[in-house]
Structure 1
């Protein structure tokens, strides 16, 4: 590997204990130990680009997404075959009965029943059972592993995290110009509301005082993974928005998931006099573009029909979400996320108040093409995952 300190090419013996034998400097990561792509030079470069060379603050979770080397997601698998216990519970009594008949009878009946009993045992032994599996996903390295490396080995070698990176497991510091209240507006009369359903994205906005610079108030509507918890998010979001006058436009920033795509339409339906701009990660971008983090989980918040009729998704996008796939907006490159929020607030402020017939017109913002993460290798077929329950697949 290349020494981050002196750029010398080091053999395994020359980097024992993660100390360069040439320059004597300590480094944090060794690809041979910590996995492909886990190298100080690569991680430092990703952090520099993500923070725009120190202009932005990003969270450790955002750096983890950007530093990933592989990303897999699998659809739900239905169980196949008969469970072993049930199979033998049926097969053994039948086989025993047939073999007893073979013992108690003579000639041809004995041969037939004996062969039948043996056949039952052979068939029961040959059958296989594969249990069902819920939708699942994997990012390499895992978040826990990456966080331990950065707060442990990296901080030991360099004394702190990369410049501009903050540990979101701890309270994220605000910029000095930011308000100290939960609502991050710079004054008592904000000009817009940013409603964010992702905790990490909300921390990123707060740390960089983006709502304050835009004259907006930030409302965080993140909750639990359970369906009931997500229903509470919608109710809580509507309750919080009701505290602000209807002339105040709302920008909805959300993951590409069922809750996210339904939130803006539900707000429009509940508050038709309010301008609502959907600035969330579009499902079409999450499903079809390279370099996008794709995850999977068991999600019954809404079915495909609801996603088509209420959120206005295409059939392919609705099926993709209904199959359990989703993508976090926190994985969007920070500079791109900042520009999207700025454009969305500007659009919301310029939009006229909706009439009774056009409350639905402020739809998805057009997202630019997200760049491929340097060094990341997303294996499999990008955009796959539109067919339901057809076994494992990489997306």
Structure 2
């Protein structure tokens, strides 16, 4: 690996105890000792890419997915085991045949059969989509090690250990009362990492949106304005808007994504596989008639695409446009302003 400090190439024996044998400085991550094969330079490069060279901030959840992306494409079958079993099976089988030992020859056949099993598992993609390290283990493993060495999270990464506290709204005497939405927009987003990211990017302050993790908390939010729903593109996430509509019949509910059609089957969209949803969940999805049989089968196997997998800049742009559009449609004054071109860029020559 390359030392993140002196940038010298280090052999395994030259970096005992996560310390560079050439410059003597300690580092956080050794690719030989963590499931994602991370090193400090890779973490920094990835965080820099997510934040667009520091223009944005990202969260540990978004960093986890970006660093797991490569391993999610791969199976968890050790190809080396298949090769070793094949060689051992051939050798043992030949020895058994040469000595006319039935037991030895049978053992060789079993070893070859086991090797074939590994090959079949590789072809079938066993383990593909399963995280080598889940989000919680990423926090308590690599990120904890990083903080112990450097004293803080990687550059541009912000803490997402708490869901954002609802900001001030009209009528509650808040300092940002002028920027709050008069129609009481609420955004339901169960993923804490994404909620923290949107809040840190200024979405709540700019549009006066109240972020809500659980739809059950919506009655406590001010106003009777629209409720926007932001969710993962998996079996449970795709039903979230339905749940909110059932619980909030007096408020318009707008599903702003993540839509399954935007990611399913796309080569660059790397999905994650979790627990298989129950029959009742799949029945509701089928009753919605929004998904093809192929998509339903895919969702039924536990596949999905998480919000943390959407590039931060793209996610912020899409959510901002959706909030702006819904807010404009809900506010008569903003609708009139939009109809006369208020706050739009003048045409050339005007």
**What TM-score, normalized by structure 1, do the two folds share?**
0.59
Structure 2 CA distance for partners of 1:259 and 1:240, relative to 1, 3 Å: farther
Where structure 2 has 5 or more consecutive residues not aligned to the other structure, the ranges are: 76-126, 332-350
Aligned match of 1:283? 260
* Separation in 2, partners of 1:284, 1:71: 20
Q: Give the CA deviation at 1:266.
A: 5.3
Tell me, yes or no, if the aligned pair for 2:31 and 2:39 is still in contact at 8 Å: yes
* Separation in 1, partners of 2:181, 2:203: 16
* Separation in 1, partners of 2:33, 2:300: 38
Tell me, yes or no, if the aligned pair for 2:57 and 2:200 is still in contact at 8 Å: yes
Structure 2 CA distance for partners of 1:162 and 1:70, relative to 1, 3 Å: same
Q: How does 1:20-99 map to 2 (within 5 A)?
A: 20-35=20-35, 37-68=37-68, 69-71=70-72
Aligned match of 1:179? 167
* Separation in 1, partners of 2:54, 2:291: 38
For the residue of structure 2 that corresponds to 1:161, the secondary structure is coil
Tell me, yes or no, if the aligned pair for 2:233 and 2:257 is still in contact at 8 Å: yes
For the residue of structure 2 that corresponds to 1:251, the secondary structure is strand
Q: Give the CA deviation at 1:275.
A: 4.6
Structure 2 CA distance for partners of 1:73 and 1:186, relative to 1, 3 Å: farther
Larger radius of gyration: 1
Q: Give the CA deviation at 1:285.
A: 3.6
1:334 aligned to 2:312? yes
Aligned match of 2:17? 17
1:293 aligned to 2:286? no
* Separation in 1, partners of 2:313, 2:64: 16
Tell me, yes or no, if the aligned pair for 2:189 and 2:195 is still in contact at 8 Å: yes
The structure with more strand, counted as a fraction of residues:
1
Where structure 1 has 5 or more consecutive residues not aligned to the other structure, the ranges are: 75-134, 222-232, 354-395
Looking at both structures, which has the greater relative contact order when contacts are Cα pairs under 8 Å and sequence separation is at least 6?
1
The structure with more helix, counted as a fraction of residues:
2
Aligned match of 1:255? 232
The Cα offsets for residues 97-152 of structure 1, whole Å up to 9 and x where unpaired, read as: xxxxxxxxxxxxxxxxxxxxxxxxxxxxxxxxxxxxxx996212343442233343
Q: Give the CA deviation at 1:310.
A: 2.4
Tell me, yes or no, if the aligned pair for 1:73 and 1:296 is still in contact at 8 Å: no
The Cα offsets for residues 186-234 of structure 1, whole Å up to 9 and x where unpaired, read as: 436544221213232222223333221123222222xxxxxxxxxxx5x
1:213 aligned to 2:214? no
Aligned match of 1:317? 295
Q: Give the CA deviation at 1:36.
A: 5.3
* Separation in 2, partners of 1:307, 1:64: 29
* Separation in 2, partners of 1:218, 1:163: 25
